[in-house]
Amino acid sequence: MIIDGKKVAFSILEELKEKVKKLDKKPGLAVILANDDPSSKVYVSSKEKYSLDLGYKSCVYRFDKTITQGKLIQLIHELNENPDINGILVQLPLFSHLNEDEILELIHPKKDVDGFHPVNIGKLYAGLEPYAVCCTPKGIIKLLKAYNIKIEGKKALVIGRSNIVGKPVASLLLNENATVTIAHSKTKNLKEYTKKADIIVSATGHPKLITADMVKKGAVVIDVGIVRQDNGRLVGDIDFEKVKDIASYITPVPGGVGPMTIACLMENTYELFLLQNKR
């Protein structure tokens, strides 16, 4: 079965829209763009559009190369204090002269809508409830649950160990009682691991890394990778056309994990709003 991320994301957003309509005050999301990367510009515009569609207050701060670390620090302090802003997102990467780690750590953990602050990461690893869970990993677990895919007791293989996808998704799967293995670029004989896995989550950005002969019949295959080819087509890590005949469930690219990321960002903003406005 092909997992329809667009459909699941749409239903999350529709539900949010109804909840937001009932609020007197609206959730506020601030997005900071301080890089020249064309994809980042597209992502930020999309975040702005989704925020406005939901009726959120949306503030986008776009900077050119003249932005200094000091000015960015000052902005984060102001946003931390601003009661109309519930979520702060720094689009990564930042210009190379800026210190990303310092900026991310300055965001108040209760406004850290991306779930990247060490406090939120630490809570995730400790099996505690973070104020916000990283959006893509959260979206993956939601997709599995939307299709009633059992996680507990399953052998899950996560390919990729980045701080934004691989490690947090492995923690979430572990918290759901899967037996988790993490593979990366130095893993020898990847096939040995993929062949045993009941659930494969691949997040490498390496097109067609996972071929049909590497997948166990009936496995659940989640493709996080997104690479734009020269012909403009988006492809993932999985050889989708061939693997779909072997997997029990599989996500397409595009239309799988991608739409869930933005839906979870919007949901995180709403949840942080509730957290900050609870009496």
Cβ within 8 Å of residue 202, ≥6 positions away: 159, 160, 209, 210, 221, 222, 223, 224, 225, 236, 237, 238
Q: Is 92 in the site for ligand NAP (CB under 6 A)?
A: no
Q: Is 224 in the site for ligand NAP (CB under 6 A)?
A: yes
Please identify which residue in 160, 200, 263, 270 interacts with ligand NAP, judged by CB under 6 A: 160
Q: Report in angstroms how near the CB of residue 41 gets to ligand NAP at its nearest.
A: 15
Q: Of 40 and 187, which CB lies nearer to ligand NAP in the complex structure?
A: 187
Q: Is 55 helix (H, G, I), strand (E, B) or coil?
A: coil
Query: Cα-flanking dihedrals φ and ψ of residue 154, to 5°?
Result: -85, 155
Taking each helix axis from N to C terminus, what angle separates 257-277 and 38-54, rounded to the nearest 10 degrees? Answer: 50
Of 26, 91, 123, 138, the active-site residue reads 91
Name the segment binding ligand NAP (CB under 6 A); options: 28-36, 121-129, 169-177, 186-194: 186-194
Q: Is 225 in the site for ligand NAP (CB under 6 A)?
A: yes
User: Catalytic annotation on 198?
Assistant: no
Distance CA 210, CA 225 (A): 11
Q: Of 48 and 73, which CB lies nearer to ligand NAP in the complex structure?
A: 48
Q: Is 238 helix (H, G, I), strand (E, B) or coil?
A: strand
Q: Is 166 in the site for ligand NAP (CB under 6 A)?
A: yes
DSSP state letters, 135-171 = HHHHHHHHHHHHTT---TT-EEEEE---TTTHHHHHH
Please identify which residue in 16, 75, 203, 210 interacts with ligand NAP, judged by CB under 6 A: 203
Q: Is 76 in the site for ligand NAP (CB under 6 A)?
A: no
Q: Report in angstroms how near the CB of residue 71 gets to ligand NAP at its nearest.
A: 27
Of 26, 111, 112, 114, the active-site residue reads 114
Question: 26: which 2 tokens?
Answer: 């609206």
DSSP state letters, 205-236 = --TT-B-GGGS-TT-EEEE---EE-TTS-EE-
Q: Is 205 in the site for ligand NAP (CB under 6 A)?
A: yes
Query: Cα-flanking dihedrals φ and ψ of residue 59, to 5°?
Result: -125, 115
Q: Of 58 and 251, which CB lies nearer to ligand NAP in the complex structure?
A: 251
Binding site for ligand NAP (CB under 6 A): 136, 159-162, 164-166, 183-187, 190, 203-206, 209, 224-227, 257-258, 261
Catalytic residues: 47, 91, 114
